[in-house]
Amino acid sequence: MQKKLSVSAAKTAATAATFLVLSLSGCSLLPEKADETKGWSATKLYSEAKEELAGGHYERAIQLFEKLEASYPFGTYAVQAQMEIAYANYKAQDQAQALAAVERFIKLHPNHANVDYMYYLRGLISFNDQIGFLNFIYEQDPTERDPKATREAFAAFKALVDKFPDSQYTPDAIDRMKYLINAMASYEVHVARYYYRRGAYLASVNRAMGVISDYRDSPSIEEALFIMIRGYEKMGNVQMHDDALRVFKKNYPNSKFLDEGVKKERQWWKLWG
């Protein structure tokens, strides 16, 4: 036999049920926050987004550009908004989102009049990711750093130079490529030096040899060649040592490495400066 609920118990149950309904409805009775951009024209959205971007409010700028693209996908501002989204993410130092936006734009608009800028921006994104690359000489073991961003930046700038040789961004890209070549060569030399210090002379020589073959215009070649001299000496390879030393003296007769490193056994890798 089912018992009847008391009046008090019934009221309690009703109250609990009311609270449950409200919680499940996500507080739908509360007023939603108004969208201030509702009804804005494409021109208004673009103007406001550019103002936020200029003021360094990158997150807000991105939101407005995305709103513009979504609301007016076929308008004159939609494509420009896509470019601005990539740039705003770059300024916000969100490399992943910036690169994704760049790749999306290049895929969607390969023949756009300003697509060369997107190639350039792709290089800048990776380039800035490795700013300070050479500072590790005095701060940490060079083998602890991954030069991946450097290689990616170089590849991005090279794509711009190859595809758009007459672009207004190409001269700067070429200058940055020269810097990146020196950065990559410097990294390889430091790794070769790292191997030498640990007695891995063959690995050291091979790494130094790679610098000479891959980065022919880099100033790091001087030290790379000297590493080969010392490595061959440690391995007892007299002929290769003498050949490398002869080439070194011919090309760098006044080298600080030759003066300090050959005359005495010392930590010649600390000569960098």
143 confidence band (pLDDT: 50, 70, 90)? very low
Percent over 90 (pLDDT), the chain: 67
3-class state of residue 61 by DSSP: helix
| Answer CATH for 40-112 from 3.10.450.50, 3.40.50.10330, 3.30.930.10, 1.25.40.10 | 1.25.40.10
Overall average pLDDT of the 220-241 stretch: 95
Label residue 177 exposed, middle or buried (CB < 10 Å: 0-12, 13-18, 19+). buried
Alpha-carbon span 207 to 133, nearest angstrom: 19
* Contact between residue 177 and residue 157 where contact means Cβ atoms under 8 Å apart: yes
CB 153 within 8 A of CB 111: no
pLDDT bucket at 127, cuts 50 / 70 / 90: confident
Those residues whose C-beta lies under 8 Å from the C-beta of residue 169, and which sit 6 or more positions away, are: 116, 117, 119, 120, 160
Average pLDDT, integer, range 52-67: 96
| Number of neighbouring beta carbons within 10 Å of residue 227 | 27
Say how far apart CA 74 and CA 79 lie, in whole Å. Answer: 8
Q: Is 128 exposed, middle or buried (0-12, 13-18, 19+ CB in 10 A)?
A: middle
Per-residue pLDDT, 41: 93
At 76-115, the pLDDT tens digits run: 899 999 999 999 999 999 999 999 999 999 999 999 999 9
Token digits for 268?
């010649």
Q: What pLDDT is recorded for position 258? A: 74
Those residues with Cβ within 8 angstroms of residue 245's Cβ, 6 or more apart along the chain or in another chain:
229, 262
pLDDT of residue 8: 55
CATH architecture of 129-261: Alpha Horseshoe (1.25)
pLDDT at 272 (0 to 100):
39
Tell me the domain boundaries of the chain: 40-112, 129-261
233-251 pLDDT, tens digit per residue, is 999 999 999 999 999 999 9
Residue with the two structure tokens 């804005």: 40
Q: Residue 75 has what pLDDT?
A: 86
Stated pTM of the model: 0.73
* Residue among 244, 259, 245, 255 at smallest CA distance from 219: 255
